[in-house]
Chain A
Amino acid sequence: MTAVPITEAVAVDGWRWHDRVAGLLDDGLRFVSLSGTPDGDVRCVLADPERTVVLTTAPAGGRVASIIDIVGAAGWDEREIHDRTGIGFEGHEPLRPLLRHPSATSDWTTPVAGADVHDVAVGPTHAGIIESGHFRFHVVGERILLLDPQLFYKHRGLEAAAAGASPELALRLAQRACAACAVTNTVAVAQAIEDARGAMPDAELRRARTLLLELERLYNHVNDIGAVCAGIGFAMGNMAFAELKERAQRLNATLTGHRFLFGTVAVGTSELEIDAAAAAGARTTVAGIGADAAALWADVHRNRTARTRFRGAGTLAHADALALGACGPAGRASGIDDDARVASPRLWYDGFAAARPEAPTGDVAARIGLRVLEIVACCAIIDDLVSAPITPGRVRGGNVDVGTGVGVVESPRGRTAAIVDVHAGTITGMHLRTGSYANWPALAAACTGAILPDFPLINKSFELCYACVDR
């Protein structure tokens, strides 16, 4: 078992902010999240497998140096903090609104000019069963020059509602953020609270949470392959994978009582019990889903039209993926060798290696191909976890009263990080940076150069949530 990373809190003066972040990046730490604190400060979480550092600075005169020149991934975070708190980021020009929705379009979109350039506005409501969000495509003819997404139509203020709440209520609010990532988000928050309290999950708790996370990944990944088929109007592929998703969700209901695994994660404990008979049934079901997914995918892939549509569509270049901090299946499909499961001492992933695509071409084909690979791994992990009964688990330690903790979990869409402040049994601050949040700028970049009718396909190949960005 890997050692548990220590979370260090470091306060820095404003004038040293940029250099300290740069120094930690040079030491090999990676950017995890950037957010405002309950006290009006700004904090940046950076981590490597051995340690997690929470850098905090008080903005002098309401301003802090921007870090986007060294952490391209922090662009949306700085824009969101500015909208929430008014804090300015020097060097981030123009600091466009993200959470705030100004009435003039020019206040939040990128100026694009040239012969025949025009805008196509889509949303916030859409032509199917789709989450709400607005897109401004700057196009020439049907070629996309640039996409400006405007999300946060579904902003429910869940983090604000968590301030002053009990840990249990904060966890339920985190679950409300997003159904498809409910386990990921609640495990990340539970881990953060436990980290703040100095508690460590025992083996049973780690196994139970890992099982829940992989059950979540399984139904999401088969869903996402079906969604990509829908993106090219291939109804048979869509329906076949919808059936696999249904089987996976019925298994969730059998094992936990809920099709989306709601209510299965708690702070400091797990009540999940799966006896030998239920475990055996789960192994059979999962093996069946895995085998059918492989056979059905092979048949989709035999279809030349499908193959041709997937190949070369919505390419996210490796350099862009790196610069924008793309992660999860989307990042891995562009050659980013990263998966939070590799170093997860609070979970049960010993010996886990991130899936590597045959060719990291960064297109729709690579993103689905990667999920196909991950379904195989996911079924194997579930099979291994339920090869013995699952029994209730607890944490050890945990008598710290006041503190700040970090939890990091790999969701079906990428690295999800929670940072939580605990004060004498109350949550005073909670921030969730989900895999979807991390990848939206990369999705926008992948659309540049594509044709407008391919947007649904490209969008589905990322299959990012709006709900767990908007919170």
Chain B
Amino acid sequence: MNQWEVYVNDVKELAEDAEIELTIRTLNAGIHKYTYKRVRAQLSSDLKKHADQLQVRLGRGQLSNSRFSIKVLGEVQRMPAKYL
């Protein structure tokens, strides 16, 4: 099970049971904790639905009470090809 975190201005940005793009950071222990990835993912407020867990922070870093389970479907490369 992986732990992830996302920043949003409003929890409504986190649509459930649809494929959405998110910038999430890992909360797994170790030296890479807090590094980001851009991903395609599916969320559910049913914490048992997916194996990975997602916690949410709001605009100024406040921890939200909303929690989700998350399935990361794949990484999204936003960086222009010329820089890869």
Partners in one complex: no
